[in-house]
Every structure is written in structure tokens, then in C-alpha cells.
A and B are shown apart, each in its own frame.
Chain A
Amino acid sequence: DIQMTQSPSSVSASLGDRVTITCRASQNVSTWLAWYRQKPGRAPNLLISAAGGLESGGPSRFSGSGSGTDFILVINNLQPEDFATYYCQQANSFPFTFGPGTTVDLK
């Protein structure tokens, strides 16, 4: 199975801040990488597909990049609804696997 890691595990930030989250795969996943935001008590919500594709209707303050084993999610101009947990997920091979999550909380 492909193992996914994320860093940091948590980050404290203020409204308007820029936050960067990294995701690393134990094997090459090309660009088969998605990012999700999960607000407390809610189902995850797809933000980015194919490593860098912003979902239709998704806020433009989110951007993703990377390929192979190293990926980045950037959140610009942090908004109140962005205080949540973020997960990366590889879809290069079965079983699909998720990173452990990065929690963004209020500084």
C-alpha cells in the first residue's frame, strides 16, 4: 500500500494568513492526488483534484501543486471557514489511501 504523510500535523494561523501544507507519498503517484477540507462534524469536501485542479465552484484562494511523491496545498487569505482539517489522498493505485490530516486552528 502507498503510505501518505502530511506536515505539519497542525498549524495555528490568523484570518488573512497564508498556510502551506505538504503531502508526501511513499511511492510515485504521478498527479493522482486529491485534497479535501473537513469542517468539524461534516463530511469531507473535495478542494483539489489531479494535484492541481481547483474544483468547480471552489474558492480561488486554494491552490495545489506537485507530482510524483511531493505535493503542496496553499491556502491564501485564510477565511473563517478554513479552520478545519485537511487531508490528501492518492488514487494512483488500490487501496486509495489518505494522509493523516493537518488541522488548521485559530492562533
Chain B
Amino acid sequence: QVQLAQSETEVKKPGSSVMVSCKASGGSINSFVVNWVRQAPGQGLEWLGGIIPLFNKSTYAQQFQGRVTFTADHSTSTAYMELTGLTSEDTAIYYCARETSGSLDPWGQGTLVSVSS
């Protein structure tokens, strides 16, 4: 069964960028769609967008357009999310998840991105 393992906690300065990885095991990342969701401390879930690694085609939520980029490395079955221009409001846990017909399962364990001066 597919499992998703994410990279470790990142601590960043305002204005910098962060890249979070999501490595698939138990299945090739080419065979599914990867979505990215974040959760600010004590808050709900916010969808950033998704990527179809097989076609390298991404869809981004409007509020992140121009600041977020999804990529995938087929050779390592790993998806990446890069977010630029970080502010304190980007402090959150970032999750990757496999999307199947709109439902997200499984999810990675999450990566905490902390933005502070």
C-alpha cells in the first residue's frame, strides 16, 4: 500500500523560501496525483493545489499562485512543494496526500515550517 514520507521540520527567515519533499513508497508517484494541504497552528485545513507527476501538470489555489511551485522527480518517486516569499503567516504544518477522485488518502506525516525572524 502507498505510504508518503515527508521531510523534516524547517525553520526559515521571513522573505526566504522553503522546499518540502514527499517520497512515495509502495507505489510509483507517476501513478497518482499529489495534493498539498497546510494547517496553521490551531487552525483548519487549507488546500494549496496538486500535481499530476506523470504529466508534470499542476493546479494551484489562487491565493498561492506565483508563490508556490510543485515538482516531481520520477526517478526517486518524490514530489516537492516550494513556497517563496515566506511570512509568519506561512507558519504551518504542510501535508502531501494522494488524491483519488477528489479524496485525499493517504497523507504524509506532515512537515512543520516555522517562519520567524
Binding site for B on A (CB under 8 A): 1, 32, 34, 36, 43-46, 49-50, 55, 87, 89, 91-92, 94-101
Distance of A100 from chain B, by nearest CB (Å): 5
- Binary contact track B85-105/A, C-beta < 8 Å → 1, others 0: 000000000010000111111
Binding site for A on B (CB under 8 A): 35, 37, 44-47, 49, 59, 61-62, 95, 100-110
A1 to B47, CA, bound (A): 12
Please state if A46 and B46 are interface contacts (CB–CB under 8 Å).
no
Given A94-B59, A95-B49, A95-B61, check contact A46 B44 (CB 8 Å): no
Give the one of B45, B49, B101 with max A CB within 10 A.
B45
Please state if A46 and B102 are interface contacts (CB–CB under 8 Å).
no
Task: Pick the contact of A50: B62, B101, B105 (CB < 8 A).
Answer: B101
Task: Pick the contact of A89: B95, B100, B101, B104 (CB < 8 A).
Answer: B104
Q: List 27 contacting pairs A-B, 8 Å CB cutoff, sorted by A.
A: A34-B102, A34-B104, A36-B104, A43-B95, A43-B108, A44-B107, A45-B105, A46-B103, A46-B105, A49-B100, A49-B102, A50-B101, A50-B103, A55-B105, A89-B47, A89-B104, A91-B102, A92-B102, A95-B47, A96-B35, A96-B102, A98-B37, A98-B44, A98-B45, A98-B46, A100-B44, A101-B45
Tell me which residues across on chain B come within 8 A of A97, comparing CB atoms.
47
A45 to B95, CA, bound (A): 12
Please state if A87 and B103 are interface contacts (CB–CB under 8 Å).
no
Distance of B28 from chain A, by nearest CB (Å): 21
Give the one of A36, A46, A94, A96 with max B CB within 10 A.
A96
Task: Pick the contact of B110: A43, A50, A98 (CB < 8 A).
Answer: A43
